[in-house]
Amino acid sequence: MNPAHRLPVLLGALALSLALLAGASVTLVWATLDATERDAVAAVLASRAMLVVMLWLAVFALASWGLSRLFGHYVEAPARLQEQALVDYFSAHSGEVSARVGKKIDLASLKPYTGTHNSGYTECQEFFGAITLDSHEPLGRQIVTMLDVALRGIGNYWNDVVIPGFDFCVVENTLGKYGTRVERLTRLPIDVQDLVMR
């Protein structure tokens, strides 16, 4: 099912479930009453029917709000999960690099502030369109972004060598997001060193 259709379907199922529950509750109670009691209940509820309807609408509205919050949290993943995956990847490989270099290296601290930012004519405003660990909303359905995975071997100063013999490495590709499908739009190979000075 298209993810965009899941929430309306879930809300429709919720409304149907509440309607069935209400109908079953009324039927169950009604079946326990004799004719005199039914007449009395009908007379009491006749002027209060709208109050009962409003109560069920309020329950539906509250349940819908809760369902949409759960849907946003568990189904429509926030954009920050993409950045968190990159941080986790670097953290998982810190031990390997540390063993090669001979000292403790925290790779996640050597990456830039983001691994994904906006593309096209808005790239000049990269800081306004970057995915960071503070990006709590889901991404748009059809957007273009730049996957900008970089790592530096120096600290905050040029003479602060963290990984000897390694200055900077970046892999930057253009991505197109179409609903739940992501496509790499860059046609250049990942390693373009052979194309330098040609």
What's residue 49's pLDDT? 77
Average pLDDT of the segment spanning 121-145: 81
| Tens digit of each residue's pLDDT (9 = 90 or more) over 153-189 | 998 888 889 999 898 888 888 999 888 788 999 888 8
What's residue 92's pLDDT? 95
Q: What percent of the chain has pLDDT over 90?
A: 19
Q: Is the pTM of this model over 0.85?
A: no
Please say if the pLDDT value at position 7 is more than 70.
no
Interatomic CA distance for residues 170 and 193, integer angstroms = 12
Tokens of 190: 């990942």
SS3 per-residue string spanning 108-140: HHHCCCCCEEECHHHHHHHHHCCECCCCCCCCC
What's residue 104's pLDDT? 93
Q: Which segment of 13-27, 104-118, 167-181 scores lowest on mean pLDDT? A: 13-27
In the structure, what pLDDT confidence band is assigned to residue 73 with cuts at 50, 70 and 90?
low
Most confident stretch, 63-67, 97-101, 128-132:
97-101
Interatomic CA distance for residues 68 and 5, integer angstroms = 13
